[in-house]
Amino acid sequence: MRGENDELGALFNQVVAISYLCSALGFALLAVLLLTSWKGRLQGAMLVAAVIATMIWSSAVAYQALGQALDTRWILAAELTRDLLWLLFLLKLLMQRPTSARTLIHTGGMACLALLAVWQIVGFEHATGSTLVLPIFLNVVFIVLAVYGIVLIEQLYQNAQPETRWKIKFLCIGLGGLLAYDVYMYSHALLLQSVSTAIWSGRGAVSVLAAPLIIVAAARNPSWSLDVFISRKVVFHLFTFTASAVYLFVIGFLGYVLKVQSGFWGPALQTVFIFAAGLVLLVLVMSGQVRSRVKVFLNKHFYSYKYDYRDEWLKLTRTLSSPDAGRSLELRSIQCLAEIVYSRGGALYAIDNGALQPVGRWNVEEFHESIPIYSDLPRFLVRKKWIVNLLEYKELPETYNSIVIPAEIAALPDAWLVIPLLHSEDLIGMLVLTQPRAPRALNWEDYDLLKVASYQVASDITQSKAAEQLAFAKQFETYNRVSAFIMHDLKNVTGQLSLVVQNGERLKSNPEFVDDAFKTVENAVVRVKRLLNQLKQSRDLNLSSRVQLNKLVEGIVSERSLARPFPVLWCTDSELQVVGNSDKLASVIGNVIQNAQDATAEDGTVRVSMFLEVADVIVRVEDNGMGMTQDFIRDGLFKPFNSTKGESGMGIGAYEAKEYVESLGGRISVKSAPGQGTVFTMHFPRAHTDTVERVA
């Protein structure tokens, strides 16, 4: 039996040492935070000194509890220093002018008590044994200092403005608890003429509980020089780890007691008990409801603001801007707002065809009912721009002007919040969230954060719809461009045939005209057939192969010789090959030559030159027509639907030429001046001998 008592005594000493070590670690953490952010303020220096003294005192008691030889006088001196420094810090907070008479009186009184206490400590001799017997006067000094500290705390709290008491609340609770425990311990020692070992050992646990409260108080008061950011995630995980450690420690201790007290069945009962307790801990740690309750508790009681706004905004932005295959924008929008208030699910409505249509859901049953935009709820959201709390609405409907909640919303299980989605003051939809895992009371912070987040969600949804509409518009633009090019070619064919019709009556007896007319009609038939073939197989527009540009341009010049002024071809090389689509090349070069003819009088000149320049094949069309200004060349020539020919021109010929030449890797340059003609130069990459046919 004696062996068991010795074993329990050793275990008790280890528990005491661990509690004081935890206290020392807590105050050491606070000291590091304060030292790394100290800005030279006196209050900060005094707080650091008091925290370090408390850390040293806790470490000394833990060292002695481990059975190490340490003179009790050192522990009493450390405790006295701790008390005096905390009292000076409280005096500094309470007295706005440290040189005032009241401050001097208070400081002088503490100095006298300190000197008397030091005199008693120096002459103190701790007799061998487990009982600590202190001189009566030393007991009285420690009681007076503790009571004095409690009075200062009470005065500090009472004199603080009601709206600022939250800043010092945890300091008063934590430090007041330490001092109140000292009053109890030393009063007990004064009555029984010895310090209780159990009460002395319990101060370590009290210090552990007080340390985080003082840390929170320091974080709430930047004037104490604590500007270090403490992540809520770190606090949450630290709290979870600490709570789990305390839980396991208590379970281990109870398991040991169960083993000792249960005789033969002790080991088996201990094993089953610890295993069951471990399962309970695992269930609690993995429970979403428990995690939500812990987060709400920490945000409510340990921070001046409920949210870490930087972290919330980063999380919101990351969720909205990180699409994946399994989550649409609608689903991500619901989740990012639901996570702010720990909601379990929600539904998203968007305005379409004069009603709010359901477009997304998360953790709610599928539904199809729409809500007319002219009903009470949408009109209220547009007018007030409020978030509707349906639980509050059930109790106080007059708060929301007694609007009628649509049956579609009321039918959603556990419907909780209705959040309007506003973009540029216009309602584009609304979000309905279900109730959270843990009961949660909302205040202005929750509503403001949800409103700001809803603006971002509405903006992202609007941009997504705009991007989708732009994609459709680009598809239609492609079709419109093809139609415009077809109309342009048809206009050219129609112009050639119209010229034949206009001169037919006058020159029908001229054999040369008849021959030219047949050639024109034949050419028109070829071009129309080619156009129809391109419409049937639009892919052919992109087929590229070797093209003998000499022969192609010769045919174009011959074709354009039916109109005046007649184009003249000049070519120095017989083998000028490029890679492209022969039909598109013919259309582009023919259009440039026609534009030169249209801009030049019938007695003017149009010259087409072809030659090789480094690795490019050059096709140059020169005329001495009316010319163009530099402003028009820069701002209007290559813009679609911008023509100098009035209603007779479509304004896409030059645009089409530039687009196609650049798609082949070439370029176009233009030199012109009003009344001095125009030089239109097209650069095509030359096809080398090893070039094979390809698909562009």
Residue bearing the bigger pLDDT, 228 or 119: 119
Copy the structure tokens of residue 498.
């119209």
Residue bearing the bigger pLDDT, 440 or 382: 382
- The residues, ordered by sequence, that sit 6+ positions from 275 with a Cβ below 8 Å of its Cβ are none
Residue 8 pLDDT > 80: no
Sign of the alpha-carbon dihedral angle for 535, 540, 541, 546: negative
Query: What does residue 424 show for φ and ψ, rounded to 5 degrees?
Result: 55, 45
Burial pattern 227-249, b for ≥16 Cβ within 10 A else e, equals eeebebeebeeebeeeeeeebee
Share of the chain above pLDDT 70, in %: 69
464-485 residue pLDDT tens:
888 877 776 776 566 566 666 6
381-438 residue pLDDT tens:
888 888 998 888 888 888 888 788 888 787 777 889 999 999 888 899 999 999 887 7
Of 38-47, 579-588, 646-655, give the lowest mean pLDDT range: 646-655
Could you give the dihedral angle defined by the CA atoms of residues 73, 76, 78 and 83, in that order, rounded to the nearest 10 degrees?
-160
Copy the structure tokens of residue 469.
């509409």
| Strand pairing category for 616-623 and 606-613 | antiparallel
Mean pLDDT of 585-591: 87
Copy the structure tokens of residue 593.
């030559």
Burial class (CB in 10 A: 0-12, 13-18, 19+), 647: exposed
Angle between helix 653-663 and 582-598 (nearest 10): 140
Which SS3 state, helix, strand or coil, does residue 344 take?
coil
497-539 residue pLDDT tens:
777 777 776 777 777 777 777 777 777 777 777 666 655 544 4
Copy the structure tokens of residue 189.
């020692």
* pLDDT at position 621: 95
Q: How confident is the model at residue 99 (pLDDT cuts 50, 70, 90)?
A: very low
Residue bearing the bigger pLDDT, 243 or 681: 681
* pLDDT at position 38: 59
Mean pLDDT of 182-209: 80
How far is residue 85's CA from residue 52's CA, in Å, rounded to a whole number? 10
Residue 325 has a CB neighbour count (10 Å cut-off) of: 5
> Can you list the pairs that 525-530 forms with residues at least 24 positions away whose Cβ atoms lie under 8 Å?
527/489, 527/492, 527/493, 528/490, 528/493, 530/583
Q: How confident is the model at residue 229 (pLDDT cuts 50, 70, 90)?
A: very low
Query: What does residue 694 show for φ and ψ, rounded to 5 degrees?
Result: -145, 170
125-159 residue pLDDT tens:
654 455 677 777 777 888 888 888 888 888 888 77
Which parts of 123-196 fold into alpha helices (H)? Answer: 136-159, 165-192
Angle between helix 2-36 and 42-65 (nearest 10): 160
Q: How confident is the model at residue 195 (pLDDT cuts 50, 70, 90)?
A: confident
How far is residue 460's CA from residue 453's CA, in Å, rounded to a whole number? 11
Copy the structure tokens of residue 172.
């008063």
Nearest to 446 by CA among 392, 405, 510: 392
Concatenated DSSP letters for 459-473?
A: HHHHHHHHHHHHHHH
Residue 473 has a CB neighbour count (10 Å cut-off) of: 11
Rounded to whole angstroms, what are the CA distances from 501 to 495, 498, 505, 514, 516?
10, 5, 7, 11, 12
Q: Tokens 């030559």 appear where?
A: 593
250-301 residue pLDDT tens:
665 565 555 555 555 445 555 555 556 556 656 655 555 555 556 555 555 5
Q: How confident is the model at residue 693 (pLDDT cuts 50, 70, 90)?
A: very low
